[in-house]
Structure 1
Amino acid sequence: MAASFDRPRRRALRWLGGALAAPACLQAAMAAASPVRVGMTAELRMTSSTSDDAVRLGLELAIEDLNAAGGVLGRPLLLEVRDDRSVPSRGVENLRELAALPDLVGVFGSRFSPVLTEMGQVAPALQCPVFSPWAAGNTVLDPTRQPDWSFRVSLNDTWAMETLLDAAAADGCQRVGLMLPNSGWGRSCHKVVEEYTARHRAIRVLPARWYNWGGETSLIDHVLNLRQAGAQALVLVANEPEGVLLMREMLSLPPPSRLPILSHWGIAGGDFPRLVGPALGELDLRVVQTAALQMARTPRGRRLQQRAAERMGVADPQRVPSLVGLGHAYDAMLILHRAVARAGTTRREAVRDALEHLDPVEGVVRRYAPAFTRERHEALHASDVFLARWDAEGRLQRAPRHPT
């Protein structure tokens, strides 16, 4: 497995603004102009997390490219970053602080859906667009809230859970176990499962096993109880701390006692192969991802992935942890930039309106045509979602539709 970068080193990196790459005359003009600000709030002090690094780097590299091309409205873009420690109240506090900055046009969150959900609830009063480049909770967006100030370039729980359950059915599983965190994210996923099983009678999901997020020292009893109840596969909703704990405990079982695992992508919010170790390959584990995982299929995406690997000190570009966050954030920044340009102002109400009326935007993940409408604030589509596996080198690769 390729050597991975360490978090203290990543925290020490200082990425240069792209204005340095602009022609001298443009650089001088932009230097004299006040910046157009973009905010970000994320779990910066969560030691196992890499999703925040990927999101931040995606924004940094997009801003670097946009500034090299002249910024927006003849002004440079500037990223303002705050730490929310994955606590919703801190995310809201950061949003209020960032929204008070002059010429701030939008705020990006990171991985945790409860943070983005609460930010979205106060965004209308602050008249500040909020973007999710990772958080998948169905509560992040609220179509009944008009106008809604929350936008997402990412997965959602409906697409994730339906993909996992479809895969279990395709594998011939008739009884599936379900493990969920006792949180808003877990409840969001559970609601999707209930709706799915009401429509698909051929597959039975056993009563969910709930665990306490951040407070468990063992999870294996849940697996053993589900297996005793007849589960043929495990659908898991977890972030990397609980995911690592469960994988290590699963590896302690004899191979015939291990269940195949179909996981939501929270476990990919950290450098999961490094955290679990080489034995990860002994488990039958698939995890939800989006088309951002395959951005290297285009020259532009390959260049972005290579730049990210260089900035992070990773030898193999496909080993950039939380790679989807990089692509989602990069594209979301392109979309926001296009909206500010269309609005012709940093007035956020005009920017929000422009986000719903954009011409097509060519991103590294996909072409957005359009990114959003008044009724739809999801930039991706269910067809952008699939399952992936970690290979022996710790690289996430799209899994075959039907495992052999």
Structure 2
Amino acid sequence: MSLQFVHSAVAMRRHFGHALLALLAAPTLALAADNRPVLLGIDGEFGLTNSTSAQAVELGVRLAITEINEAGGVLGGRPLQIVTKDHRSIPARGIRNIKEFAEMPELVAVFGGRFSPVVIEQLPVLKQTGLIFLAVWSAADAIVDNGSEPNPVFRLSLRDGLAMPFMLRTAEQRGLKKVGLLLTNTVWGRSNLAAVERYLRDRDSPKVVATAWYNWQEQSLIAQYSKLLQAGAQVVVLVANDDEAAVLVREMAALPAAQRVPVISHWGVTGGRFVNEAGSALQQVDFSVIQTFSFFNARKPALDRFMVTAARAGIKRIEDIESPVGVAHAYDMTHLLAKAISLAGSTNRAAVRDALEKLPAHDGLIKRYAPPFTPSRHEALGPQELLMVRYRSDGALVPADK
């Protein structure tokens, strides 16, 4: 038994497209007395060139929905069903998409994509409509710390306020105490700078020796990188997505080895085809990335359950999972949302929002959530989930200590 879905016209990645088709061949959920589907929206950067993040979110939601529908669905047998919309990383499109989602009577919540600047611009519409927003990739602190009461946003993802301190501590633990910051000139970059400033307010180490900014889709970052080296940086803490990070890595690899300092990167690079874009240069640079989860560290019972469903979508090995945190976050969040719908006893958004704050403990793929959220905490993950990973020569993301 499997899900039915409504799919907007989006450019699906071939890898995920073939994987998802396998799930569609299974029998349909037996119809209940009220067989109207309960709709879940996904608003992501589906049409962005080289991006894999929205597709990863969709795969995670779809795998969870398959399990939920086969177990009887929600509210006495109603199937969960997906509606996707593509904002292409453009805030105006994202705002339009939220307005359209809000007008769908049986749509309970929207899963968001990778780009914090888009989500930040969507917040006023979310507040106005009361539409539940589930942040399963975007990391800017202001997404959850948005001042809304009640707060419609719940995050099962990384948070900049946790990410930057962890990255700075990682540098210090490696003996790299002079840090250069290379940041995107967006609300995401500024969110990370604010996190750095808060963390270092009462600390002498590590020391930020310089900060350099770049604009989206810049074709060269060597001038910014050189500025950080000239200031004495022993390590670069990078906030970037895959395109710009690949540019940096290729330019660094062309330098003499003595001029290549380690790079500790935020996780935006894992939301696209960074390995392909960086090419062989990636193996010539000391490059590590923060994550909240690794399938290589997953608890065996939870991983085994997940892989049984994933295998039906053509995923035989964990190395086959692109943008793994997006898949894992969305998978766990979908199971939490289904429990909240059942607890609420309806698809009323306000009731489901309140139920998310009252969920009991849940054993997920990433961890045991005990509980996932509370009225004062809309963040499901904490510092204990953070780890650093590296790209293996075959492109797989593996824990840095393995």
Give the TM-score normalised by structure 2: 0.91
User: Which residue of structure 1 lines up, in the alignment, with residue 138 of structure 2?
Assistant: 135
Between the aligned residues of both structures, percent identity stands at 42
Tell me if 1:205 matches 2:208: yes
Query: What's the offset of the Cα at 1:103?
Result: 1.2
Of 193-202 and 281-290, more deviation after overlay is shown by 193-202
User: Which residue of structure 1 lines up, in the alignment, with residue 68 of structure 2?
Assistant: 66
1:153 to 156, 176, 181: 156
Of 42-51 and 273-282, more deviation after overlay is shown by 273-282
Superimposed CA distance per residue, residues 229-284 of structure 1 (whole angstroms, 9 cap, x where no aligned partner): 11100000000000110000011011111010000001111132222223312211
Matches within 5 A, 1:292-307: 292-294=294-296, 296-305=298-307, 307=309
User: Which residue of structure 2 lines up, in the alignment, with residue 379 of structure 1?
Assistant: 380
Superimposed CA distance per residue, residues 327-355 of structure 1 (whole angstroms, 9 cap, x where no aligned partner): 00000101111110000011111001111
Tell me if 1:289 matches 2:296: no
1:276 to 256, 275, 278: 278
The separation in 2 between residues aligned to 1:56 and 1:95, in whole angstroms, is 17
Output the amino acid matched with 1:284: D
Local SS of the residue matching 2:165 = helix
Tell me if 1:196 matches 2:180: no
Structure 1 contact 106–130 (Cα < 8 Å) conserved: yes
The separation in 1 between residues aligned to 2:122 and 2:100, in whole angstroms, is 12
User: Which residue of structure 1 lines up, in the alignment, with residue 347 of structure 2?
Assistant: 346
User: Which residue of structure 1 lines up, in the alignment, with residue 243 of structure 2?
Assistant: 241
Of 288-297 and 374-383, more deviation after overlay is shown by 288-297
Structure 2 contact 47–88 (Cα < 8 Å) conserved: yes
Local SS of the residue matching 1:93 = helix
Superimposed CA distance per residue, residues 80-119 of structure 1 (whole angstroms, 9 cap, x where no aligned partner): 0011111122112111111211211101111001122222
User: Which residue of structure 2 lines up, in the alignment, with residue 97 of structure 1?
Assistant: 100
Matches within 5 A, 1:13-28: 14-15=20-21, 20-21=26-27, 27-28=29-30
Local SS of the residue matching 1:206 = strand
Tell me if 1:81 matches 2:81: no
Local SS of the residue matching 1:105 = strand
Query: What's the offset of the Cα at 1:14?
Result: 4.8
Query: What's the offset of the Cα at 1:315?
Result: 6.2
Aligned residues: 390
The separation in 1 between residues aligned to 2:276 and 2:35, in whole angstroms, is 44
Output the amino acid matched with 1:286: S
Output the amino acid matched with 2:394: E
Query: What's the offset of the Cα at 1:398?
Result: 1.2
The separation in 2 between residues aligned to 1:14 and 1:387, in whole angstroms, is 29
Output the amino acid matched with 1:7: R
Tell me if 1:187 matches 2:156: no
Output the amino acid matched with 1:287: V
Local SS of the residue matching 1:78 = strand
The separation in 2 between residues aligned to 1:237 and 1:250, in whole angstroms, is 16
The separation in 2 between residues aligned to 1:109 and 1:66, in whole angstroms, is 20
Query: What's the offset of the Cα at 1:10?
Result: 3.7
Structure 2 contact 37–79 (Cα < 8 Å) conserved: yes
The separation in 1 between residues aligned to 2:295 and 2:275, in whole angstroms, is 16
The separation in 2 between residues aligned to 1:79 and 1:379, in whole angstroms, is 23
Query: What's the offset of the Cα at 1:362?
Result: 1.5
Tell me if 1:170 matches 2:173: yes
User: Which residue of structure 1 lines up, in the alignment, with residue 55 of structure 2?
Assistant: 53
Local SS of the residue matching 2:191 = helix
Output the amino acid matched with 2:395: G
Change in Cα spacing, 1:315 to 1:221, as seen in structure 2 (3 Å) is farther
Output the amino acid matched with 2:270: A
User: Which residue of structure 2 lines up, in the alignment, with residue 355 of structure 1?
Assistant: 356
Change in Cα spacing, 1:226 to 1:310, as seen in structure 2 (3 Å) is farther
Structure 1 contact 159–382 (Cα < 8 Å) conserved: yes
Structure 2 contact 307–316 (Cα < 8 Å) conserved: no
The separation in 2 between residues aligned to 1:14 and 1:390, in whole angstroms, is 25
The separation in 2 between residues aligned to 1:31 and 1:341, in whole angstroms, is 16
User: Which residue of structure 2 lines up, in the alignment, with residue 42 of structure 1?
Assistant: 44
Of 11-20 and 240-249, more deviation after overlay is shown by 11-20
The separation in 2 between residues aligned to 1:209 and 1:388, in whole angstroms, is 24
2:115 to 102, 112, 136: 112
Change in Cα spacing, 1:338 to 1:154, as seen in structure 2 (3 Å) is same
Output the amino acid matched with 2:227: N
2:13 to 7, 22, 35: 7
Query: What's the offset of the Cα at 1:139?
Result: 1.4
Output the amino acid matched with 2:363: E
The separation in 2 between residues aligned to 1:123 and 1:156, in whole angstroms, is 20
Query: What's the offset of the Cα at 1:50?
Result: 0.8
Query: What's the offset of the Cα at 1:317?
Result: 2.1
Superimposed CA distance per residue, residues 21-67 of structure 1 (whole angstroms, 9 cap, x where no aligned partner): 57xxxx33249611111111100111211111111000011111100
User: Which residue of structure 2 lines up, in the alignment, with residue 397 of structure 1?
Assistant: 398
Query: What's the offset of the Cα at 1:170?
Result: 0.9
Local SS of the residue matching 1:346 = coil
Structure 1 contact 21–68 (Cα < 8 Å) conserved: no
Query: What's the offset of the Cα at 1:319?
Result: 3.9
Query: What's the offset of the Cα at 1:75?
Result: 0.4
